[in-house]
Protein backbone atom coordinates (compact mmCIF):
# COMPACT_ATOMS: atom_id res chain seq x y z
CA UNK A 1 0.00 0.00 0.00
CA UNK A 2 1.22 3.48 -0.85
CA UNK A 3 2.47 5.51 2.09
CA UNK A 4 0.72 8.83 2.60
CA UNK A 5 2.74 12.02 2.56
CA UNK A 6 0.67 13.22 5.50
CA UNK A 7 0.81 11.86 9.03
CA UNK A 8 -2.31 11.00 10.97
CA UNK A 9 -1.78 14.13 13.04
CA UNK A 10 -1.75 16.32 9.93
CA UNK A 11 -4.83 14.58 8.52
CA UNK A 12 -6.76 15.12 11.74
CA UNK A 13 -5.62 18.74 11.69
CA UNK A 14 -7.10 19.17 8.21
CA UNK A 15 -10.36 17.56 9.34
CA UNK A 16 -10.54 19.87 12.37
CA UNK A 17 -10.01 22.90 10.09
CA UNK A 18 -12.94 21.76 7.95
CA UNK A 19 -15.08 21.29 11.07
CA UNK A 20 -14.15 24.81 12.14
CA UNK A 21 -15.74 26.17 8.97
CA UNK A 22 -12.96 26.38 6.39
CA UNK A 23 -14.33 25.60 2.90
CA UNK A 24 -13.25 22.14 1.76
CA UNK A 25 -12.16 23.30 -1.71
CA UNK A 26 -9.87 25.92 -0.18
CA UNK A 27 -8.53 23.46 2.42
CA UNK A 28 -7.71 20.90 -0.27
CA UNK A 29 -6.03 23.51 -2.47
CA UNK A 30 -3.91 24.84 0.41
CA UNK A 31 -3.03 21.34 1.64
CA UNK A 32 -2.21 19.96 -1.80
CA UNK A 33 -4.64 17.01 -1.89
CA UNK A 34 -7.85 16.23 -3.74
CA UNK A 35 -11.44 16.43 -2.57
CA UNK A 36 -11.74 12.66 -2.87
CA UNK A 37 -8.76 12.22 -0.56
CA UNK A 38 -10.35 14.55 1.98
CA UNK A 39 -13.61 12.59 2.00
CA UNK A 40 -11.72 9.30 2.27
CA UNK A 41 -9.83 10.67 5.28
CA UNK A 42 -13.06 11.92 6.82
CA UNK A 43 -14.59 8.45 6.47
CA UNK A 44 -11.58 6.86 8.15
CA UNK A 45 -10.50 9.45 10.73
CA UNK A 46 -13.68 11.49 11.27
CA UNK A 47 -14.29 12.20 14.95
CA UNK A 48 -10.89 10.91 16.07
CA UNK A 49 -8.27 12.58 18.18
CA UNK A 50 -4.55 12.18 17.56
CA UNK A 51 -4.28 9.55 20.31
CA UNK A 52 -7.10 7.55 18.70
CA UNK A 53 -5.30 7.63 15.35
CA UNK A 54 -2.07 6.39 16.93
CA UNK A 55 -3.97 3.54 18.60
CA UNK A 56 -5.60 2.69 15.26
CA UNK A 57 -2.17 2.51 13.61
CA UNK A 58 -0.91 0.20 16.38
CA UNK A 59 -3.95 -2.06 16.03
CA UNK A 60 -3.54 -2.25 12.25
CA UNK A 61 0.12 -3.23 12.65
CA UNK A 62 -0.76 -5.89 15.22
CA UNK A 63 -3.53 -7.20 12.96
CA UNK A 64 -1.10 -7.50 10.03
CA UNK A 65 1.37 -9.40 12.22
CA UNK A 66 -1.33 -11.81 13.40
CA UNK A 67 -2.53 -12.41 9.83
CA UNK A 68 1.03 -13.24 8.81
CA UNK A 69 1.39 -15.69 11.72
CA UNK A 70 -1.92 -17.36 10.83
CA UNK A 71 -0.86 -17.73 7.21
CA UNK A 72 2.44 -19.31 8.23
CA UNK A 73 0.62 -21.70 10.57
CA UNK A 74 -1.72 -22.79 7.78
CA UNK A 75 1.25 -23.37 5.47
CA UNK A 76 2.93 -25.51 8.15
CA UNK A 77 -0.25 -27.55 8.65
CA UNK A 78 -0.62 -28.06 4.91
CA UNK A 79 3.03 -29.15 4.61
CA UNK A 80 2.66 -31.64 7.47
CA UNK A 81 -0.50 -33.08 5.93
CA UNK A 82 1.28 -33.61 2.61
CA UNK A 83 4.27 -35.25 4.33
CA UNK A 84 2.16 -37.67 6.34
CA UNK A 85 -0.20 -38.39 3.47
CA UNK A 86 -3.38 -37.16 5.12
CA UNK A 87 -6.19 -36.70 2.62
CA UNK A 88 -7.84 -33.31 2.51
24 and 11 share one domain:
yes
- The predicted-structure confidence for 13-22, as pLDDT tens digits, reads as follows 999 999 999 9
User: Do 37 and 61 fall into the same domain?
Assistant: no
User: Domain check: are 38 and 71 in the same one?
Assistant: no
**What count of other Cβ atoms lies within 10 Å of the Cβ of residue 38?**
19
Residues 42 and 1 in one domain: yes
CA of residue 22 relative to chain centroid, distance: 25
Mean pLDDT within 59-68: 96
| Mean pLDDT to the nearest integer, 47-63 | 90
Q: Is the pLDDT of residue 88 over 80?
A: no
- Mutual angle of helices 8-19 and 35-45, in 10-degree steps: 100
How large is the average pLDDT for residues 26-35? 94
| Shared domain check, 62 and 34 | no
With pLDDT > 90 as the criterion, what percentage of the chain qualifies?
A: 64
Confidence bin at 87 (pLDDT 50/70/90)? low
Q: CA–CA distance from 38 to each of 5, 17, 23 (Å)?
A: 13, 12, 12
33 and 18 assigned to the same domain: yes
Let me know whether 37 and 55 are in one domain.
Answer: no
**What Cα–Cα distance (Å) separates residue 60 from each residue in 28, 55, 76?**
27, 9, 24
- What's the structural domain count of the chain? 2
> Are 38 and 4 part of one and the same domain?
yes
Domain that holds residue 64: 49-88
Q: Are residues 38 and 59 in the same domain?
A: no
CA distances from 39 to 2, 10, 61, 64, 71 (A): 18, 15, 23, 25, 33
Amino acid sequence: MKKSRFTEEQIIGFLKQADAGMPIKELCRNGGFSDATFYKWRAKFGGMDVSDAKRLRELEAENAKLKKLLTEAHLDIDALKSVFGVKR
